[in-house]
Each structure stands twice: as C-alpha cells, then as structure tokens.
Amino acid sequence: MSEVTITLWPDGRIIKAKTGENLMEVLRRAGIKMDFPCGGCGACGKCRVKITSEVQPPKEEEIKLIPERELKEGVRLACLYTVATDMEIEVVFKNEEARVLERGIMGSFTMDPPLKKRRFFVRDSKDALSLEERLTMAVGCPPDPECRLEILRSISRGLPGEGTAVIKNDKIIGIESGDTTGKFYGAALDIGTTTVVLSLVNMVTGREEAVVSALNPQKEFGQDVLSRISHAKKGGQFLLELQKSIVDSINGLLEKAVKKAGIDKKDIYEMTVAANTTMTHLFLGINPESIGSAPYNPVLKRGIDIKAQELGISISPFGRVYCLPAISGYVGGDIVAGILATGFYKKDDTALFIDIGTNGEIVFFDGREMVACSCAAGPALEGVNISCGMRAADGAVEEVRISEDVFIRTIGDDKPKGVCGSGIVDLVAELLKIGFVEPSGRMVFPDKARQIASPNLAARLVEKERSTAFVIAYGGEQEDDVFITSRDIRQVQLAKGAIWAGIRALLREKGISPKDVRRVYVAGAFGAHLRPESLSRIGMIAGEWTERLTFAGNTSIAGATMCLLSGAKRKEAENIAGMVRYLELSTMEGFDRLFAESLKFPEGDR
C-alpha cells in the first residue's frame, strides 16, 4: 500500500488515499457527502464520479447502470472503485437532486451555485504577463476589466503560488491562500413582515446545516407594511433606523446559525434574500415611500446583487447578497420564490398559489400566463388583532372540533393561552357548522343557541368585551378564558373576504370558474397546520379545492435556497418576475362589489 493523491474537480481540492482503498470510503472520509442509498453495493448507481485521469475498465454493474457514452467519459461508481494510482476526479453533482427541505416544498434542480470556489495553482513563468493575468489564467476565468481593487491588492508576492478563488459569474471576487474549498457555506433568508427565517446551507453538499428564526424587529415601528413605510418616509435617519434594525437581526441570526452548525461566519459567501417588496427596500436602505401610494410602484423590481459589506452583513469579506426580484410593489421576491419553489406554472393546466400573511398574495396560472394580485387581508389570520389571538407558540389553540362539546389541541399540549391563526380558522369553521355564526358573520343570541345546540355549548356564549363571545377554553379565573368575539369574527371575515375576492378577481380576469382550477398551493406558516375543510367552510377557498390542495410551507425560504444553490434557478427567478402580470385590485372596476360579496360565509348544511 502506497499513498496516492486524488484531485477533486471542479474544486481542485486534493485528498490523500492509499492504494487498495475503496473510493467511496475515501470520499466519505474527506467529507464529500454523496448519497449511497444502497449502502455501497453498486445497486443504486447514485455514487457516480467522473474519472478524468486514467480509468479502470467498467465493471458489470457499472455497464448496467451507466450509459455507454458516460462510461467512455470515465464515469464510474465510487462504491465499486478501488484506488490504484493518483487520480483526477470530477464529482458529478450534476445528477444530484437537492432534497426537499422541511421548511417548504422545493422542486428538484441541479446544484450549480452561481458563487463557486475553485482551487488554483499559478505556474511560474518568464513571460510578460501581469500577476493579475497569471491569476485569471490559473483560475480559468476570462480577464475581468471590472476586477476589484481588493483582489489586486491581495495579489502579492504570494504569486506564483496556489490558493482558492471565490468566483461569481466567471469573475474572481476573492482569493484565499491554501485550500479552503471545504469551507463553503451560504445562507437563504426569508424576511417576512412579522418573522425572519434563515437557513444555513453547505454549498458543497447542498445540505441545510441549521435553520433559525426571529421576529422581525421592525415590528416596533409598526405591525404592517404601510406603517413601516410611514416611518421610513419621515426622513433619512428613520429609514436608516429600519435598515439597521433588520441588518442587526440578520447578523444575530447568522451568529446563532453558525454556532448551531459549528462553523465560522466568514465561511459564508453568499446570502440570498426573499422578501416582500417593502421589506427588500428597507433591507437595502431604499426609500419604500412610492410603494405606499398609487400607483404603488417600487423603486426597485429586478433582482440585485450587492457586496455583503455594503449592507453591513457580516459574512466573508468577499460575501455577496442577492435579493430576489419582485413582480410589483405588493407582490415581492417572496412570491417569486414561491413560484420558483413550487414550479406550479410548468404544467399546462390551471393552478393557484396563495401566500397568506398580513397581506395575501395570489398568483393564478391558466396554463399559459400567470396573473397576480395582492389583497390586504389584515393580521387576523396570524392571530393579531383578535381578542385572544396569539402567534403560533406554546399554548396556542391550533385545532378546534365542536360536536357535543369543544375539543381543542394546543401547541406543545400546553394549557391554552390563546388562539393562533389556524385555530381561529378552525374555530370559525366549526361555529359556522353548528350554526353559532350565521353566514352574515353575526353570532347568534344565547336563546337561539339554546335551541340549536346542547346547553353545554350554548352556555359558552357569553358577553365579553361588550360583544357576544364564544368561550373556547375556560381558565382558572374568568379573565383567563380563551374566547372569540363577534368583532373577532368580523376580522376573520374581512381577511378571508379579501383573499376570496382576490382569487375571484384573478379567475374572472382569465374567465375560469373555480371548479376548473386543478391545483391549489397554500404557502406560508399559516397554512402548515390547517385543515383544508376549515378553509373551505369559511369560504376562503372553493369547496371543490379541498382535494386539490397542497400546503407548501415556507416557499419563500425554499425559493431563496434554490437561488443560492443553482444559477439556472436564479435565472428562472429573474424570468418569473418578468412573466407574471400584476393586477391592481384597488383600481379594478367592480372589485368593491366583488369584495362585498366575498365577505359572506358560505351557506352550510349545518
């Protein structure tokens, strides 16, 4: 047994092995995370590598599993290959599909990050090339007239020599000494009006290493987009204050994530950001004022790529930040991410995408074109502005069933403290079912309740906060009761009415009736714990759709992750932003009537 050298391309990373060793074992030891679903017996064909140096003849299993053309190119299965000499290997990520993250559904794609690392060796030479030219040749990038000063400054006597280049779009954006190809991470970020989620991703393997989240600290300047815009437009320092607060929060999340994953912050080289248009503006320090009034056009719609340092994001000194493009002032990069992640527009049948938050964004695809709108649903479906509303945290009622009595489930199975979004929808749906709430949204009087329900249930109708209320869970003291009031139901009605009206406006625009919508995607944290039946019972979606519904989860972070790991997907995101036609509901003829009609709850069977 003697020691040999294996060079891994496209990184140029060098690893050591001994002759006679199994290549799969060697790669595993080197931390190259490949899938070996069959356990390494040559059955699944997942561990393909391309050997560009001299290669052994293919084995029987390989001939079966690998197309002839690829065999000729040197493609083999690592699990069947015995190391015999120095080797040069291309690790074939090309056929690897990134896995579906827990956080949101994500279509399959080829991993090929726009930002890469590449090992280089500068050969000594006697010609008259500048060190810059020698470096770009060694790295294999074309000369870049925009090459930044800091790169030139970092080229010192170290050349001729070797190192690792950080490359973006075939341009060198950083050089590091030694082999740093294994230290290569990225972050995908979802900036919501209410929450911020950050996913730390290994850029070599595509795996998520950690996911962390926090409340958007801009909350203190206003709960919704419009109040933040009002704050920003007061003057430069207010805008700056909003920007600083979100940047600080992101830096905090980065800190938390790297601690969790046990890596160094400076090994993060890119962050992709999906956010609604106003959040993107505030993050970039761009005045969002124009989004606040008709015709609601933002300053920036296209995707943008910026130095992380310029934004105060503390990752690698070469780090970049990419913000996904927006469709309009109220349909942002988060929706583009959602379209990208679900890929629903790629089949030629009809599909609807609904992202429910403080604003509801809806995209409809009729098989040819996407149209989108945004509707101000208000925060009721997030548990905000509801008497006993709360965020989806321990103790929040998230599921409700009413038959003879009220059955509830709380998050963490804790003592009930309030109701979160999905609990509210469930509750209203159940109250409609038993007739305690009428289609008009009115709550029945106690005497009527006693006629239609058990005394047990009827007794739950009480007066709270000078309004009729239904007690969901009794507390030790009366003030600990968890309940819902007539006024709360009105809030839910406004929210679901806004969304249903938006859906109908899009369908009407395309001349499609609800029954002809084949697929429905509900994105957002809200949808994750919801029963489709409840959504349909309160009339936020059509009755037919319960069977056609997919809860897509946080597609914003999923889309951002795809843009982090795939140049093709990033390009697709740019294209999507240009493909979707935006429909402004506030100026649409007849929309007011549509909205009024949409407020009513559906007549039920009781």
Task: Closer to a copy of itself by CB, 302 or 346: give it.
Answer: 302
Task: Closer to a copy of itself by CB, 96 or 270: give it.
Answer: 270
Please tell me whether residue 1 binds a copy of itself under the rule CB under 8 A.
no
CB of 573 to a copy of itself, least distance (A): 13
Please tell me whether residue 132 binds a copy of itself under the rule CB under 8 A.
yes
Map residue 466 onto helix, strand or coil: coil
CB of 310 to a copy of itself, least distance (A): 6
Beta strands 48-51 and 75-77: pairing type?
Answer: antiparallel
Burial bucket for residue 446 (CB in 10 Å: 0-12, 13-18, 19+): middle
- Give the Cα-Cα-Cα angle 26, 31, 37 (nearest 5 degrees): 75
Q: Which two tokens stand for residue 494?
A: 């406004």
User: Which of 48, 103, 116, 301: binder of a copy of itself (CB under 8 A)?
Assistant: 301
Instruction: Give the per-residue SS3 of 233-276.
Output: CCCHHHHHHHHHHHHHHHHHHHHHHHHHHCCCHHHEEEEEEEEC
Task: Closer to a copy of itself by CB, 31 or 143: give it.
Answer: 143
Q: Which two tokens stand for residue 286?
A: 């761009």
Task: Closer to a copy of itself by CB, 243 or 534: give it.
Answer: 243
Please tell me whether residue 299 binds a copy of itself under the rule CB under 8 A.
yes
Beta strands 519-523 and 549-553: pairing type?
Answer: parallel
Please tell me whether residue 131 binds a copy of itself under the rule CB under 8 A.
yes
Please tell me whether residue 300 binds a copy of itself under the rule CB under 8 A.
yes
User: Which of 295, 367, 543, 578: binder of a copy of itself (CB under 8 A)?
Assistant: 295
CB 187 within 8 A of CB 198: yes
User: Which of 181, 276, 287, 556: binder of a copy of itself (CB under 8 A)?
Assistant: 287
Beta strands 304-307 and 320-323: pairing type?
Answer: antiparallel
Q: What are phi and psi of 399, to 5 degrees?
A: -145, 140
Q: What are the DSSP calls for 121-159, one per residue?
A: EPPP--S---HHHHHHHHHT----TT--HHHHHH--TT-
**How far is 216 from 283, CA to CA, in rounded Å?**
11
Map residue 35 onto helix, strand or coil: coil
Stretch that binds a copy of itself, among 60-68, 120-128, 340-348, 420-428 (CB under 8 A): 120-128
- Give the Cα-Cα-Cα angle 259, 263, 265 (nearest 5 degrees): 85
CB of 168 to a copy of itself, least distance (A): 12
Q: What are phi and psi of 534, to 5 degrees?
A: -65, -40
User: Which residues, numbered 325-344, are part of the site for a copy of itself (CB under 8 A)?
Assistant: 328
**How far is 122 from 81, CA to CA, in rounded Å?**
31
**How far is 44 from 96, CA to CA, in rounded Å?**
13
CB of 232 to a copy of itself, least distance (A): 10
The sheet that has 461-464: what strands, in order across it? 461-464, 467-473, 482-485
Single out the residue of 109, 303, 336, 114 nearest to residue 203, CA to CA. 114
Q: Which residues pair with 268 in a beta bridge?
A: 185
User: Which of 97, 133, 349, 369: binder of a copy of itself (CB under 8 A)?
Assistant: 133
* Per-residue binding letters, 541-570, with a copy of itself (x by CB under 8 A): ------------------------------
DSSP assigned state of 421: H
User: Which residues, numbered 139-168, are part of the site for a copy of itself (CB under 8 A)?
Assistant: 143, 145, 149, 152-153, 155-157, 159
Tell me the number of residues near a copy of itself by CB under 8 A.
Answer: 40
What distance lies between CA 208 and its chain's CA centroid? Answer: 13
Task: Closer to a copy of itself by CB, 125 or 403: give it.
Answer: 125
- The neighbour count for residue 296, using CB atoms within 10 Å, is 17
Q: Which residue type is seen at 162?
A: E
Task: Closer to a copy of itself by CB, 306 or 393: give it.
Answer: 306
Q: Which residues pair with 273 in a beta bridge?
A: 189, 323
What is the greatest pairwise CA distance in the chain? 100
**How far is 204 from 181, CA to CA, in rounded Å?**
8
**How far is 606 from 604, CA to CA, in rounded Å?**
5
User: Which residues, numbered 182-241, are part of the site for a copy of itself (CB under 8 A)?
Assistant: 233
Stretch that binds a copy of itself, among 3-11, 250-258, 303-311, 489-497 (CB under 8 A): 303-311
Task: Closer to a copy of itself by CB, 377 or 577: give it.
Answer: 577
Q: Which two tokens stand for residue 496?
A: 């679901």
Task: Closer to a copy of itself by CB, 413 or 589: give it.
Answer: 589
Please tell me whether residue 381 binds a copy of itself under the rule CB under 8 A.
no
Q: Which two tokens stand for residue 167?
A: 């490359």
Stretch that binds a copy of itself, among 72-80, 256-264, 298-306, 491-499 (CB under 8 A): 298-306
Task: Closer to a copy of itself by CB, 310 or 516: give it.
Answer: 310
Task: Closer to a copy of itself by CB, 133 or 465: give it.
Answer: 133
Task: Closer to a copy of itself by CB, 185 or 364: give it.
Answer: 364
Beta strands 396-402 and 359-365: pairing type?
Answer: unpaired
User: Which of 21, 86, 289, 509: binder of a copy of itself (CB under 8 A)?
Assistant: 289
User: Which of 310, 348, 405, 465: binder of a copy of itself (CB under 8 A)?
Assistant: 310
Task: Closer to a copy of itself by CB, 12 or 303: give it.
Answer: 303
User: Which of 269, 345, 483, 582: binder of a copy of itself (CB under 8 A)?
Assistant: 582
Task: Closer to a copy of itself by CB, 7 or 245: give it.
Answer: 245
Task: Closer to a copy of itself by CB, 1 or 149: give it.
Answer: 149
**How far is 273 from 334, CA to CA, in rounded Å?**
8
Task: Closer to a copy of itself by CB, 168 or 460: give it.
Answer: 168
CB of 558 to a copy of itself, least distance (A): 24
Please tell me whether residue 298 binds a copy of itself under the rule CB under 8 A.
yes
Stretch that binds a copy of itself, among 48-56, 130-138, 351-359, 377-385 (CB under 8 A): 130-138
User: Which residues, numbered 231-260, are part of the site for a copy of itself (CB under 8 A)?
Assistant: 233
What residue ranges bind a copy of itself (CB under 8 A)?
A: 126-134, 143, 145, 149, 152-153, 155-157, 159, 233, 284-287, 289-290, 295, 297-306, 310, 328, 582, 584
